Amino acid sequence: MKIAVAGLGTVGAGTVKLLRQNADLLAQRCGRRLELMAVSARDRARDRGVDLKDLSWYDDPVRMVAEADADVVVELIGGSDGVAKTLIEAAFARGRHVVTANKALLAVHGTALARAAEAAGVALAFEAAVAGGIPIIKALREGLAGNRVNRVYGILNGTSNYILTNMRESGREFAEVLAEAQERGYAEADSDLDVDGIDAAHKLAILTSVAFGCEVMFDDVYVEGIRHVSPLDIEYAEELGYRIKLLGSTRLTEHGVEQRVHPCMVSLEAPIAHVEGVLNAVAAAGDFAGDTFYEGRGAGAGPTASAVVADLVDIARGRQIRTFAVPATELKKIPAAPMERHWGAYYIRLMVVDRPGVIADVAATLRDDQISMASMLQRGRAPNEDEAVSVVLVTHECEEAAMMHALAGIKRLDTVLEPPRMIRIEPL
């Protein structure tokens, strides 16, 4: 089977290395050899740590698709539009299978691309687009094929997980830990997609479609990043028996599909609370299989290349799985559940004036929105009256709309000196 690779960054070079290094093993497992024949990248002079001399080189990846006699095109360029989308569409037009790691492209155009692949009679495979070396797409699409999946959640971004882990272990602020992560190469120079939750939202939208057989609905994902999480919140979470994680969560509710990416407090008894550093983890619940849990490296040359080649092996074996588990023409339109209808418990941290009656005013505001407190923490007293002290409240479950209204009311109190900090508590 002849393969052309577009994009020779970290993942592209890793894919070339894997195909070369494990060529005999792959041939044995596929029943035929996987032959890398052409590559495309911008800089020919760059040392990528792999030998490319015997391969056809194209500066233009779209021209490579047109001219190279490849059975499969591997797209590792990235980006939700532009050349990546153009070359995939060109591959379909020529009857060529496509393997991609491009989560942004699939999140934005996944439904249309799946229909185009199906119309052309070719595969669109993307195991590498979500959670790197964790075979979560195969798990949902094949391993749990006999189940109605009702919920999927997980740590979908290793950079954010590394930052939160380091903040907890060192007690340092977000900005300081982010800068160090960038210096060490654990975070990109432009890390907004990671720390603001967009990368995780791309992946969650894909998981939603595979899990529920619906159209990809990236625009309906509620997204909130980790910039506002402080060491104080992390310390209070531990004291309360929780750990803060940036989670992506999708589930079917009576109001539609709820897709959320935001920091969560998860119980220290939950397995996902102990997934640390750059690791990813995904959990899925099926009606017959019950709860399943997958953990591993979500990025990097080796894990992501492993996922790319797993898709190539499927195609070489003649296994062509539906892109999102069901025929693309049958992907359902499911309404998005409004975030305002989310139901759950909340952690609230306030900086208030340390004087009698303050907590009574806060409790009255919560009461007016039918929200009850489960517990409260206050460490010591301020040295002088009218100085600030931190107070943490944990609420019983309530509707998100009521919580947002109550927080707005608390913010208006003269005795509350900073905007309230709120983190949702996730029952797992």
Cα-based distances in Å from 263 to 199, 207, 250, 271, 424: 14, 19, 14, 16, 7
8 Å CB contact between 350 and 420: yes
Output the DSSP codes for 22-61.
THHHHHHHHSS--EEEEEE-S-SSS--SS--TTSEEES-H
Could you tell me which of 170, 308, 147, 146 has the C-alpha nearest to residue 235? 170
Whether 85 is a known active-site residue: answer no
Could you tell me which of 168, 267, 241, 233 has the C-alpha nearest to residue 391? 233
Longest dimension (CA), the chain: 79
Tell me whether strands 373-378 and 398-399 are parallel, antiparallel or unpaired: unpaired
Q: Which is catalytic among the residues 2, 85, 138, 203?
A: 203
8 Å CB contact between 250 and 259: yes
Tell me whether strands 56-58 and 124-125 are parallel, antiparallel or unpaired: unpaired
User: Which residue type is seen at 94?
Assistant: R
8 Å CB contact between 150 and 140: no
How big is the chain by its Cα radius of gyration, in Å? 24
Could you tell me which of 342, 339, 316, 347 has the C-alpha nearest to residue 399? 342
Output the DSSP codes for 104-168.
HHHHHHHHHHHHHHHHHT--EE-GGGSSTTS-HHHIIIIITTTS-EEEEEEE--HHHHHHHHHHH
Catalytic residue positions, numbered: 203
